[in-house]
A and B are shown apart, each in its own frame.
Chain A
Amino acid sequence: MKKLINDKKNVVEEMIDGYVKAHPEYIKRLEENDRALVSAKPKEEGKVAILIGGGSGHEPAFMGYVGDGMADGVAVGNIFASPPPAPILEVTKAIDKGAGVVYLYGNYAGDVMNFGMAAEMAEMEDIEVEMVLASDDVASAPKEEKDKRRGIAGEFFVYKMAGAAADLGYKLKEVADIARKTNDNTRSMGVGLTPCSLPQTGEPSFEIGDDEMEIGLGHHGEPGIRKATLDTADKVTDQLLQPIFEDMEINEGDEVAVLVNGLGSTPRMELYIMFRRVEQVLSEKGIKIYRSYVGDYITSLEMGGASITLTKLDDETKKLVDHPVNTPMFVQK
């Protein structure tokens, strides 16, 4: 696959370098660790800090979400690989303002170990840490095993709500509870059309026929639950929504925020065609869309495909989802 890169070994370093130089008013690299980035604006003393992180290759996630109203710092891993404990710890020390730090990340074995090790080290430095793992992907494990599910695009809502709560002055435990509640009320389901390729190998991440799609695909190119023949946008959207409805408690009169997320190379045109169908189905069911997000929020390099995320809202999370955000890659007024 074609790529505009220099040395394949340096893609992450050069991306970070470009990013901090493009947006110095928003973000800076810590001297202690070149994979540790924090907001350029100092956080208010006494406010809970939000730390996000994960592998590279998901841009705008995760570093794109450091800014006002969302995260205070990010630890950046290699492509599709959790960051090690060292940058996580450095970010933790830099962003803690005496009120503790909430780690938000996806439920993957690597992230669990690295963030867990970092949290232990932070405790030894007397910094209180709460960890919340996103596990919104319906395709990745049955409902009874929700704790085994991976986090995909629904992580966006977890950052959004927790970031707003921290900004509004919620305490450490309260911010973590908001993040957990959001995760509990969020479900996603994805579809892959074309693979991505890691710069280091150049090989496609999975094999798929020209007329095929992978239902339930993970956002690192992990194979999904089944291959099927590609169908119309409406029918594929229905296939993604059905398992979400089967999985979550959602009834007429409920209000949701919707995210139709592109995986990297699927055009907005197709995402909006999918959103159109999501709106039709929800409106037939009498479910009200309170807010919508359509675009590339958590990608997988140049993968083709999309995911649909629904998060059920209550009065509190409606207020949080409305809270303004200003980051280099995401602005909400």
Chain B
Amino acid sequence: MNITAKELINYFKEVVDIVEKEKDYLCDLDRKLGDGDHGVTMSIGWQAVNEQLNGKLAEESDCGKISSTVGMTFLNAVGSSVGPLYATGFMRGGKAVKGKSELNDVDLAAYWIAFINGVQERGNAKVGDKTMMDTLIPALEALVVNFDREFIPAFESAVEAGEIGMKSTTDLVSKIGRSSRLGERSKGAQDPGATSAHMILKAFLDFAKVHA
């Protein structure tokens, strides 16, 4: 399969829509664990990204530049902790496909592997810490193990593994970030970062399937 620069822009626009639709849900999750603003922060960031997608990036044909601009725009709009984390992901993903106007199966796998490795490096969280890495690390492992020429089946397994990881955060005690100060009281609520990370991956899977 091939994803063109134009299609990549449309994928990011879909993330904008999903975040707008789910922002209240993400805030509800975050109120149980933190300061209740994860949905607001994501919305501020993706709305800023949307302006770029409709403006400066509308005619951009370099997939790497599109992704790294998405990352920088998100970072500068939100700061916070998700800012540097997602921004590093999108910038590293962008670097992996730099100069390409179309992404084939190998490029797409390289993109998401670089994305997740970037987030991991920036945040240093491990599986079990009750963060977005509980979604992303299992997804990365499944993608690496299952990728063999075809992107979609491998990414499908990655999203499934990520979903299991996301759901596992409900029973975890938070070990990192603001919610870690809750100790045992952080149990019983699904991590909002793990949830938004799953949304971003799932949106890409759905998008890729439609365009395959």
- Which A residues form the contact surface with B (CB < 8 A)? 9, 77-86, 108-110, 113-114, 117, 139-141, 148, 150, 198, 200-201, 203, 205-206, 218, 220-223, 225
Q: Which residues of A lie under 8 Å from residue B37 when comparing CB positions?
A: 79-81, 198, 200-201
Tell me if B21 counts as interface (CB < 8 A to partner A): no
- Quick one: which of B27, B82, B181 contacts A222, CB cutoff 8 A? B181
Q: Are B83 and A82 in contact (CB under 8 A)?
A: yes
Tell me if B209 counts as interface (CB < 8 A to partner A): no
Q: Which residues of B lie under 8 Å from residue A79 when comparing CB positions?
A: 37, 40
Tell me if B49 counts as interface (CB < 8 A to partner A): no
Query: Once the chains are docked, how many angstroms separate the CA of A182 from the CA of B182?
Result: 26
Q: A110-B83, A114-B83, A203-B36 are in contact. Are A140 and B75 (CB under 8 A)?
A: no
Tell me if B127 counts as interface (CB < 8 A to partner A): no
- Which B residues form the contact surface with A (CB < 8 A)? 24, 27, 31, 34-37, 39-41, 43-44, 75-85, 122-123, 176-183, 185
Q: Are B79 and A77 in contact (CB under 8 A)?
A: yes
Q: Are B40 and A220 in contact (CB under 8 A)?
A: no
Lowest 4 A-B CB distances belong to which pairs? Answer: A110-B81, A81-B80, A84-B79, A220-B35
Q: A108-B81, A109-B178 are in contact. Are A201 and B40 (CB under 8 A)?
A: yes
The chain B residue with its CB closest to the CB of A150 is B181
Name the distance in Å between B36's Cβ and chain A's nearest Cβ.
Answer: 5
Q: Are A203 and B27 in contact (CB under 8 A)?
A: yes
Name the distance in Å between B22's Cβ and chain A's nearest Cβ.
Answer: 13
Q: Are A84 and B81 in contact (CB under 8 A)?
A: no
Q: Which residues of B lie under 8 Å from residue A221 when comparing CB positions?
A: 35-36
Query: Once the chains are docked, how many angstroms separate the CA of A160 from the CA of B66?
Result: 44
The chain B residue with its CB closest to the CB of A116 is B84
Q: Are B79 and A81 in contact (CB under 8 A)?
A: yes
Q: Are A223 and B185 in contact (CB under 8 A)?
A: yes
Q: Which residues of A lie under 8 Å from residue B81 when comparing CB positions?
A: 82, 108-110, 113
The chain B residue with its CB closest to the CB of A199 is B40
Query: Once the chains are docked, how many angstroms separate the CA of A113 from the CA of B4?
Result: 33
Name the distance in Å between B27's Cβ and chain A's nearest Cβ.
Answer: 5
Query: Once the chains are docked, how many angstroms separate the CA of A9 from the CA of B40?
Result: 10
- Quick one: which of B34, B39, B84, B182 contacts A220, CB cutoff 8 A? B34
Q: Among B27, B36, B177, B183, which residue has the most Cβ atoms of chain A within 10 A?
A: B36
Name the distance in Å between B79's Cβ and chain A's nearest Cβ.
Answer: 4
Query: Once the chains are docked, how many angstroms separate the CA of A141 from the CA of B24?
Result: 30
Name the distance in Å between B57's Cβ and chain A's nearest Cβ.
Answer: 19
Q: Are A78 and B78 in contact (CB under 8 A)?
A: yes
- Apart from A81-B80, A200-B40, what 8 extra A-B contacts exist at CB < 8 Å? A79-B37, A81-B83, A84-B79, A108-B81, A109-B177, A110-B79, A113-B83, A139-B181
Q: Which residues of A lie under 8 Å from residue B185 when comparing CB positions?
A: 223
Q: Are B182 and A223 in contact (CB under 8 A)?
A: yes
- Quick one: which of B31, B83, B183 contacts A84, CB cutoff 8 A? B83
Q: Are A222 and B80 in contact (CB under 8 A)?
A: no
- Quick one: which of B35, B41, B43, B181 contacts A141, CB cutoff 8 A? B181
Q: Which residues of B lie under 8 Å from residue A113 when comparing CB positions?
A: 81, 83-85, 122-123
